[in-house]
Structure 1
């Protein structure tokens, strides 16, 4: 892949078409030549085909490259294998997305690469080898990647925007368009500019109408279909805090303590954890 001009780095849309639509119009003011999509296009927010239509429009208007995220792998696993997605909080949001997405777009994920390389960078979702690996700053696995690579890494997955340098190498994370962690109630992306061989990065944020998104959650019935996990997703969006991670940790720890193994746990464990994080009442408090 040739790195030239101004490139928008977009990651972790997660079906938040309301945020993506704002970004669509913002990019028109940024003199963008290319877009690199870093994965996790769908799941977790309502009406996934509205996100698909905006992605198609961006693809038509800009030179675009697509990386496969872990959410694409989940949807492809259902496409091929039809695992048990009956648990509302465990898999309800994924099943909703699959059922409401044209198969043509799911099949578009099949040929997406896990990573791509140009003369200066490795582009990936999580890490260059695993789209589920989290490259948080000041972590051993992150520092090991920077130690062993000759290229800078551009990736997403953590939903945390930032630039981190160690061992003479840098990771650039544009943050999340759809479920940004940090301030809350905003979308994140980045612009990479290559001007005569000098590469610069600009981290960008923008507000959007999160209450309009809330109304879409209500209209789609996704809070019920996706259970407490989806309610936690919305709280992530509003607060900028990783409520879903706390919910997952507490629900599964409680289940394991009572001898329940596996990826699917009874809804009662989700409900117990949800009480702790205020997910049973007004989500906008």
Structure 2
């Protein structure tokens, strides 16, 4: 028995298509999705349409990530202060390209789950952790070890860090398939994982799949994102090209620059001046 595990697609439908081609070629008919389906890359509706077809053709388990929670709160009128040409511009762009049925699906999802397949050991699902979709679980970290000691199962899947790994602590396994759309540690490629039930245990195979990065770049250039979230677009493209997660570093640097000069700053309203300074300093502006 084999199960594909995908997380953090972030609207990169080219990467998702590469994963789907691999799944079809391998004859896998079960897929686990760990959230963060859209945002960061253009044309989120293409990704949502693909997910709809996948859910019709495969046995799937889906949970929501922190990005889905952002969109749910925004739809409910939460005062998040999203504006274009700030670090929240890509979220606003994505939200305006979602349909009501997309938001209803997000709302229907839990932020955690459990996979029970006959003859195998249960697998717990989370995007970040079981209590917070934004919590980062890394190998050997104190919070990771604490969580693994407490979970009522031998296996847990998580995403959010965009870093592919398998980690064991006191007989418990934490598996992160990495990010499909914006992975750390591989260039111009997608990360996913395959779980195989063999000899009474789940074994993880990390998979790296190249795709046509040039087409993704062309889609960015032709999309409204270039006008509405240009600096974020540059961060994401460079991140995918280099396998490095530049965006949070750039946001932090822009925030620090704004706070240093203005005496105070709002994470959601970092003026473009400081975004430009941070991006130039990091060599991210094309």
Q: For the residues of structure 2 that align with 1:153 and 1:44, how far apart are their CA atoms? A: 26
Q: How far apart are 1:73 and its partner, in Å? A: 0.6
Q: For the residues of structure 1 that align with 2:39 and 2:113, how far apart are their CA atoms? A: 23
Equivalent position of 2:237 in the other structure: 234
Number of matched pairs: 277
Q: For the residues of structure 1 that align with 2:199 and 2:101, how far apart are their CA atoms? A: 39
Q: Over aligned residues, Cα RMSD in angstroms?
A: 1.5
Equivalent position of 1:277 in the other structure: 282
Which of 93, 96, 99 is matched with 2:96 structurally?
99
Map residues 25-44 of structure 1 onto 2, 5 A cutoff: 25-44=21-40
Equivalent position of 2:118 in the other structure: none
Greater shift in the superposed pair: 10-19 or 224-233: 224-233
Retained in 2: the 8 A contact 1:155–1:171? Answer: yes
Q: For the residues of structure 1 that align with 2:139 and 2:264, how far apart are their CA atoms? A: 33
Q: For the residues of structure 2 that align with 1:131 and 1:99, how far apart are their CA atoms? A: 23
Q: For the residues of structure 2 that align with 1:82 and 1:115, how far apart are their CA atoms? A: 23
Greater shift in the superposed pair: 32-41 or 161-170: 161-170
Q: How far apart are 1:278 and its partner, in Å? A: 1.3
SS at match of 2:195: strand
Retained in 2: the 8 A contact 1:85–1:95? Answer: yes
Q: For the residues of structure 2 that align with 1:167 and 1:252, how far apart are their CA atoms? A: 40
Which of 115, 136, 139 is matched with 1:137 structurally?
139
Map residues 43-62 of structure 1 onto 2, 5 A cutoff: 43-62=39-58
TM-score (norm 2): 0.92
SS at match of 1:88: coil
Runs of 4+ off more than 6 Å? none
Q: For the residues of structure 2 that align with 1:18 and 1:202, how far apart are their CA atoms? A: 21
Equivalent position of 1:64 in the other structure: 60
Q: Which runs of 5+ in 2 are unaligned?
A: 116-120
Q: How far apart are 1:87 and its partner, in Å? A: 4.0
SS at match of 1:28: helix
Retained in 2: the 8 A contact 1:92–1:225? Answer: yes
Q: How far apart are 1:194 and its partner, in Å? A: 2.2
User: 1:266 aligned to 2:271?
Assistant: yes
Q: How far apart are 1:269 and its partner, in Å? A: 1.5
Q: Which runs of 5+ in 1 are unaligned?
A: none
TM-score (norm 1): 0.92
Q: How far apart are 1:197 and its partner, in Å? A: 3.8
Q: For the residues of structure 2 that align with 1:139 and 1:198, how far apart are their CA atoms? A: 24
Map residues 197-276 of structure 1 onto 2, 5 A cutoff: 197-257=200-260, 258-264=262-268, 265-276=270-281
Map residues 102-141 of structure 1 onto 2, 5 A cutoff: 102-118=99-115, 119-141=121-143
